[in-house]
Amino acid sequence: MAEKKFGHEEHMKKADNLGILSGVSRPLKIVFLGAGSGFFKPVFTDIMNIPGAENGTIALVDVDRKRLELSVELGGKIIAAMKRPGWKVIGTTERKEVLEGADYLINCIEVSGTSCVRFDNDIPASYGVDQCIGDTMGAGGLFKALRTVPVFLEVLKDVSRLCPNAWVLNYTNPMSIMCLAAMRAYPKLHVVGLCHSVQGTSHQLADYAQIPYSELIWNCGGVNHLAWFTRLEHKGRDVYEILREKLASDKELLAKDPVRFDMMKYMGYFVTESSGHFSEYLPYYRKRPELIRKHCGAKYLGESSFYANNWPQWRIDSDAKKHDFVSGKEPIDTSRSWEYASFLIEAMETNAPFVAHLTVPNTGLIPNLFADNVVEVPCLVNRKGIFPTYFGKLPGQCAAICASNQSFFNLAADACIEKSKLQAERALMLDPLTAAVCAPEEIRAMTRKLFAAEKAFLKGYK
């Protein structure tokens, strides 16, 4: 189970011994936006795994009624399988019906569904901009933000009126732009960004170095999907030395994570996002076909158009999996995942301290990154809330790469808030990969074609 990997049980025992563990003393109200999301099943199950959380309501919201009803059925099955009769699950297509009095809001919305996937990929590709995933940076990430952020800000407007003290836990990409726009538009609300790239990558590094995870000592910070492991140690030894030795003797290791290991070679540190996604945040690896062939692999290792070619089917498969759980064709796995949401809720409700790497405003936490932007750093969580910790300066080369992405986030967030086509095209001109491939006039033309193609989901942009 994931909490064992985290050492969460040990945290709980220590907290109990210190007399600070008080249990969940109230019925909880949790609102899950985007109940059709692939995050629904693991996060719902995780919440049912919170020790001492014996009763509450989870309100599911989705604009797609069929997918909503399926998730409500699945939620009921999970509650029954885990013998949590004090919990109930309800569903609605109207979020305002359930927001009042919410303690936590988990945001997993997907605006436009699969309708714009091909536009996000194929129009940039016609200008030579090759994407693997394309939902965080570049044209794909920008236009996902332009579609999604305005809806998220409407949600936050409702939160500010109906449940202003709720913690908004955002899973939706593009994470940094979503959280930055929220910070600027609604600075008094409690909004944080949750991802699993730090958990996943720290375990990958232990596996690559063949070190027990519990013995790996590490520090990690930067921006979401672009956070750097500035410390990697095992029993006093620099794990980067171990990784370099293994890369020299094992040629297959490089093929497991080609872009991240190549950047480690030249920048000195390993980063948190998969090679394929990471390659999109840089000007180096995707600007010519021969570079893609040399440095990128299949699927998440950098395959061209991987997300666009597969996401529609993944969505169908996800729904089919839920049907199998509901029908009993497939048994429901009730173990706890390493997704952060339930651990944050548990820490705040039981006062058992927990540390999570979250996207938060950069209030001097990483001094050599932009102060009016967001960063991903370790945060202490307890009954009093979520408290970002001071990380310190990143190595100069790592900070510069993060800053190049932050410049893009900065204008993209403003474009979403102001609904400005001009700011959108300027943001895309600052995207490292797009700028490496295209001239400004091409970027302007690309942006205008994307606005025209996706106009049904981009109301109000001028």
* Tokens standing for residue 248: 């020299």
Question: For residue 219, what is the enclosing H or E element?
Answer: strand 216-223
- Give the integer Cα–Cα distance in Å for 80 and 57: 14
- Give the integer Cα–Cα distance in Å for 278 and 111: 24
Taking each helix axis from N to C terminus, what angle separates 197-209 and 239-249, rounded to the nearest 10 degrees?
60
Distance separating the N- and C-terminal Cα atoms of the chain: 49
* Tokens standing for residue 391: 């990380």
For residue 19, the Cα-to-chain-centroid distance in whole angstroms is 34
| Residue count of the chain | 462
Q: Which residues are catalytic?
A: 196
Nearest 10 degrees: CA dihedral of 449, 454, 459, 461? -20
* Vertex 268: Cα angle to 263 and 270 (nearest 5): 60
Chain position carrying tokens 């991240």: 260
256 in Cβ contact with 264 (< 8 Å): no
